[in-house]
């Protein structure tokens, strides 16, 4: 794959289509006459000629002069190219009465609102079943894995309860070539894309078959096959990655976008600001999907931000933005599909804020009843749940009934436990994996350190538990 061919013109903003042959360097930007002292830098003649201010795109050389005409009724300035003058002094306020609205396709009983929302449901039975099954699989897997952590069989787990609709609804709207950069509560994305139960389990048990070679905490999934980048614990760091990956897709002229998921807490990180801003200025086909579930561990959104959620920020970056009901898998699906269309056809980012409620504890290391009332959680669970909503939608169409549901759940439970037991029995990766993949080839120091460990282990054989690792002590290479 190479960029040598011309970029797909249709995908490029107009400013890119005619790269000015000259790139004016207005004197106001030349930092010092000394800059131009070197022989190969032509010096601009000294003069008093007024250089017009310019509005550019990343210094692309396509800047167009901006001229403030005398007597104009508006400010024409590079920093704000079309701002009307006013003599009324008035500060803009965030108005809680005017919150950005929340898009819905079906109500809590699974009934589609009058408009069809451009979705031809009759032809989507297969896909609906796949979505439903993915969501149920995640929820059953979550229960089993949560309990197994409580029994000490895995070290850690994070469940997705209440947010399966966001992950699966959006995944269903994406293409296989779309690249995912997730936070950690998006198992449904992998489930829908076809990550195997064995792959989930191998990762959580960190066994020799784990794609991540047993290096990461549970639920830090990765899959090259599914274009799903390795999850890291650091919050929001993946956001600018998705901007950069979107830019790569743009240069490749691919009919694909980058997608990143993050919580409303992570959106307080500087990375959120950095990522959205650079995605906007570079015109990156990137979808920013925020799961606003009301809590960042124990911190309620009241302590997280004062504005109108995350969506209100998008517009400030010049990004098309929408808020959606995260418990409505169809609304999430529809919004993601449209957003993807915008991102790819117009080569620009889109921000989606999906509203939901974190029904579960934050993780296995958290008891959420220390900071919120049990009744609040129970109330949410009873009132609205993305899985129940989609099931009701299917039942209304006679696609689904109680028997089918019991059968599906029984079968899934069996399959998951089978994968669970197989993964638990597998050996851990060879100890040499501790050193591999830090560089493309291990450094000399690393090789020496590995030999040092092997030597120590050999002399104190009773002090190290190597039986569970592939090749045991021989899994450490002694090559100096």
Partner 1 sequence: MRRRAIAPLFRLARNGQPSGAARRYSTHPPNAKLNLPVQYNKSAYLSHTAQTTLANPELPAEIRDAGNTTRQNLYQSVNSALQTALSTDDRAILFGEDVAFGGVFRCSTNLLDKFGPNRVFNTPLNELGIIGFGIGYASHDSANTAIAEIQFGDYVFPAFDQIVNEAAKYRYRGASEFNCGGLTIRMPVMGVGHGALYHSQSPEGFFSHVPGLKVVVPRGPVQAKGLLLQSIRDRNPVIFMEPKILYRAAVEEVPVDEYTLPLGKAEVLATGSDITIISYGTPLYTVEMAAKAAKETMGVSVEVIDLRTVYPWDKETVFASVNKTGRCMIVHEAPKGGGIGGEIAASVQEGCFLRLEAPVGRVTGWDVHMGLVFEQFNVPDVVRVLDMIRKTMEY
Token match 């009759």: residue? 122
Cβ-proximal residues to 93 (8 Å cutoff; 6+ apart), any chain: none
Select the residue interacting with partner 1 from 136, 159, 204, 245 (CB under 8 A).
245
Select the residue interacting with partner 1 from 54, 301, 312, 446 (CB under 8 A).
446
User: 129 or 471: whose CB is closer to partner 1?
Assistant: 471
Is residue 29 a contact point for partner 1 (CB under 8 A)?
yes
Q: Rounded to whole angstroms, how far apart are CA atoms 285 and 259?
A: 9
User: 197 or 258: whose CB is closer to partner 1?
Assistant: 258
- Least Å distance, CB 126 to partner 1, is 30
| Residue 125: both structure tokens together | 């039975």
Select the residue interacting with partner 1 from 31, 70, 89, 370 (CB under 8 A).
31
- Residue 154 DSSP symbol: S
The number of helices, as runs of H, and strands, as runs of E, in the chain is 13, 12
User: 221 or 357: whose CB is closer to partner 1?
Assistant: 221
Q: Rounded to whole angstroms, how far apart are CA atoms 451 and 469?
A: 17
* Region from 53-61, 143-151, 183-191, 458-466 binding partner 1, contact rule CB under 8 A: 53-61
Is residue 456 a contact point for partner 1 (CB under 8 A)?
no
Is residue 54 a contact point for partner 1 (CB under 8 A)?
no
Of 260, 214, 247, 267, the C-alpha closest to 437 is 214
Select the residue interacting with partner 1 from 51, 274, 297, 457 (CB under 8 A).
274
- Least Å distance, CB 238 to partner 1, is 8
Of 324, 297, 329, 299, the C-alpha closest to 310 is 324
Is residue 28 a contact point for partner 1 (CB under 8 A)?
no
Q: Count Cβ atoms below 10 Å from residue 91 Cβ, excluding itself.
A: 4
| Residue 114: both structure tokens together | 């009058």
- Pairing relationship of beta strands 320-325 and 350-355 according to DSSP bridges: parallel
Is residue 102 a contact point for partner 1 (CB under 8 A)?
no
- Least Å distance, CB 1 to partner 1, is 7
- Contact predicate 93/99, CB 8 Å: no
Is residue 81 a contact point for partner 1 (CB under 8 A)?
no
- Residue 7 DSSP symbol: P
Q: Buried b vs exposed e over 310-321: b needs ≥16 C-beta within 10 Å?
A: bbbbbeebebbb
Contacts (CB under 8 A) with partner 1, residues 112-171: none
Token match 């059968």: residue? 407
Is residue 370 a contact point for partner 1 (CB under 8 A)?
no
Is residue 80 a contact point for partner 1 (CB under 8 A)?
no
Is residue 179 a contact point for partner 1 (CB under 8 A)?
yes
Contacts (CB under 8 A) with partner 1, residues 381-410: none
Contacts (CB under 8 A) with partner 1, residues 203-242: 211-213, 215-216, 220, 222-224, 229-230, 232, 234, 237, 239-242
Token match 């974190």: residue? 358
Q: Rounded to whole angstroms, how far apart are CA atoms 283 and 286?
A: 9
Select the residue interacting with partner 1 from 278, 310, 319, 416 (CB under 8 A).
278
Task: Output the CA torsion sign for 276, 280, 283, 285.
Answer: positive
Select the residue interacting with partner 1 from 95, 440, 462, 465 (CB under 8 A).
440
- Least Å distance, CB 425 to partner 1, is 21
Is residue 346 a contact point for partner 1 (CB under 8 A)?
no
User: 203 or 292: whose CB is closer to partner 1?
Assistant: 203
């Amino acid at each position: 794959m190479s960029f040598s061919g011309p970029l797909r013109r249709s995908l490029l903003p107009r400013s890119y289509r005619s790269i000015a042959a000259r790139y004016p360097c207005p004197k106001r930007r030349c930092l010092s006459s000394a800059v131009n002292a070197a022989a190969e830098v032509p010096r601009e003649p000294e003069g008093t000629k007024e250089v017009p201010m310019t509005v550019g795109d990343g210094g692309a050389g396509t800047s167009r002069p901006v001229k403030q005409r005398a007597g104009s009724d508006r400010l024409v300035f590079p920093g704000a190219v079309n701002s009307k003058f006013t003599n009324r002094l008035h500060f803009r306020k965030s108005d809680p009465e005017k919150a950005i609205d929340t898009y819905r396709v079906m109500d809590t009983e699974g009934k589609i609102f009058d408009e069809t929302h451009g979705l031809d449901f009759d032809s989507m039975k297969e896909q609906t079943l796949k979505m439903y099954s993915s969501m149920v699989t995640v929820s059953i897997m979550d229960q089993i894995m949560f309990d197994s952590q409580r029994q000490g069989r895995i070290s850690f787990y994070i469940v997705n309860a209440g947010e399966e609709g966001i992950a699966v609804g959006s995944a269903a709207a994406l293409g296989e070539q779309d690249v995912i950069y997730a936070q950690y509560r998006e198992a449904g994305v992998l489930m829908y894309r076809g990550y195997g139960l064995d792959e989930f389990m191998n990762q959580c048990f960190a066994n020799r078959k784990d794609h991540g070679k047993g290096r990461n905490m549970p639920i830090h999934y990765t899959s090259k096959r599914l274009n799903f980048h390795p999850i890291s614990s650091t919050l929001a760091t993946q956001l600018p990655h998705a901007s950069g990956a979107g830019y790569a897709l743009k240069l490749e002229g691919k009919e694909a976008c980058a997608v990143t998921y993050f919580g409303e807490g992570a959106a307080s990180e500087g990375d959120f600001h950095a990522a959205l801003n650079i995605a906007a200025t570079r015109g990156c086909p990137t979808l920013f999907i925020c799961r606003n579930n009301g809590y960042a561990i124990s911190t309620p959104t009241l302590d997280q931000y004062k504005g109108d959620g995350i969506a209100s920020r998008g517009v400030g970056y010049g990004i098309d933005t929408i808020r959606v009901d995260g418990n409505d898998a169809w609304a999430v699906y529809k919004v993601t599909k449209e957003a993807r269309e915008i991102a790819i056809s117009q080569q620009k980012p889109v921000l989606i804020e999906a509203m939901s409620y974190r029904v579960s504890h934050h993780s296995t290391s958290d008891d959420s009843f220390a900071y919120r009332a049990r009744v609040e959680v129970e109330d949410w669970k009873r009132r609205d749940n993305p899985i129940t909503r989609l099931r009701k939608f299917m039942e209304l169409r006679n696609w689904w009934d109680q028997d089918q549901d019991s059968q599906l759940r029984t079968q899934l439970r069996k399959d998951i436990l089978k994968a669970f037991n197989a993964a638990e029995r597998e050996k851990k990766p060879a100890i040499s994996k501790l050193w591999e993949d830090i560089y493309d080839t291990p450094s000399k120091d690393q090789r020496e350190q590995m030999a040092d460990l092997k030597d120590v282990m050999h002399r104190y054989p009773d002090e190290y538990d190597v039986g569970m690792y592939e090749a045991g002590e021989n899994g450490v290479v002694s090559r100096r």
